[in-house]
Amino acid sequence: MDTVTIKIKFFGSIASGIGLSELLAPVRREKEKGLEDVGRIVREKAGDQVLYTILINGYSHYLSKKTELYPEDEISIVPIVLGG
């Protein structure tokens, strides 16, 4: 399994809830598998009920044409704001 160590940054209520603003973590290099790893890390740290979006280098992971993750990539975990 080809892995890469990336920086994961946490923002807002997620950061304050887990007491971390960032960490380095090994994830699988292939983007979709690596994002599965990131999701597992978020669930381990913040629980299953937290709602968030994932940004890769400041852009929505849905819009990213990247197929692999690299050590210089930065993953941001941003809580979804709810209200009405």
**Whole-structure pTM value:** 0.89
Q: pLDDT by residue (tens digit) across 15-72?
A: 999 999 999 999 999 999 999 999 999 999 999 888 999 999 999 888 777 889 999 9
pLDDT at residue number 54: 93
* Multiple choice CATH, 3-79, 1.10.150.170, 3.10.20.30, 3.40.50.300, 3.90.45.10: 3.10.20.30
Torsion of CA 31, 5, 79, 36, to 10 degrees: 40
84 has pLDDT over 70: no
Q: Going edge to edge, which strands form the sheet with 22-28? A: 22-28, 3-10, 74-79, 52-56, 59-60
* Ramachandran assignment for 8, one of left (phi > 0), alpha (psi -120 to 50 degrees), beta (any other): beta
What are the residue ranges of helices labelled H in 1-84? Answer: 12-18, 31-46
Where do the structural domains in the chain lie, given as residue ranges?
3-79
